A and B are shown apart, each in its own frame.
Chain A
Amino acid sequence: MVDFTGERKAFGVTVFDPQAGLGKGVPAAIRLDEYDAPSDPDPTALAQLLFREYPSYFRTSK
């Protein structure tokens, strides 16, 4: 859900299906991980993922 600035609140974006879970395209090790509590992300790894997946928006200066 997102809130726009102003009066428009709770704008639905997407819904996840409990039966479908994460989807079959997600690596099994991620789908089946039972110890999935989030932790602080490594900024370098996060940057690498963004560079690779969203090259239209992120680029490396090196």
Chain B
Amino acid sequence: MTGPDPFAGFRQKVQHRSMKLALRGIAATLAILPFAAGSQVTDQTVIEKLKAQGIEPTRQVHSDLCYPASYQEYVRVGKYAIVMLEASTVISDELPIRAAYLIQNTVRVPLQRIAVFDKSIDAAGAGKQVSFYLVPIARLRLGQV
């Protein structure tokens, strides 16, 4: 049987990347990319276009925020959500991630890490690592991040 899983939590996937490359080079590249005015261009689209130009990001962090599936589960997990971070960098020594935190009114609120997996390093020396953190939903509710 197919269809949505009624017990599945609500998840939001976000991808962010840092391109510590020659900014002028990127700007010049972006300027010639055929973006339609007013269209919604995803990060992935931009990345694919940059890759086609031979430009790769130095660091990337993909995040996946998972809320409890029900009020009962919400209470049982202490009113936390879970965020999965998949960090990759061409400088493998930068992993593991030292800390993950929320910014609330300029104050850093560190997140509690609940799991971290061994990092993988490819032949070129780039590393990737997945880790999981608890995020207090109360901090997210008011958009205070």
List A residues at the B interface (Cβ < 8 Å).
1-6, 8, 11-23, 25-27, 29-31, 33, 36-42, 45-46, 48-50, 52-54, 57-58
Q: Count CB-based A-B contacts (< 8 Å).
A: 153
Residues of A within 8 A of B132 (CB): 50, 54, 57
List B residues at the A interface (Cβ < 8 Å).
7-12, 14, 16, 18, 59, 61, 63, 65-71, 73-74, 76-80, 82, 84-85, 87, 89, 91, 93-103, 108, 114-115, 117, 130, 132, 134, 136-138, 140-145
Contact of A53 among B11, B136, B138, B144 (CB under 8 A): B11
Residues of A within 8 A of B117 (CB): 57
Whether B69 and A27, one on each chain, are in contact in the complex, defined by CB atoms closer than 8 angstroms, is: yes
Whether A3 and B98, one on each chain, are in contact in the complex, defined by CB atoms closer than 8 angstroms, is: yes
Whether B76 and A11, one on each chain, are in contact in the complex, defined by CB atoms closer than 8 angstroms, is: no
Residues of B within 8 A of A17 (CB): 143
Residues of B within 8 A of A27 (CB): 10, 67-71, 74
CA distance A36 to B101 in the complex (A): 19
Residues of B within 8 A of A23 (CB): 10, 12
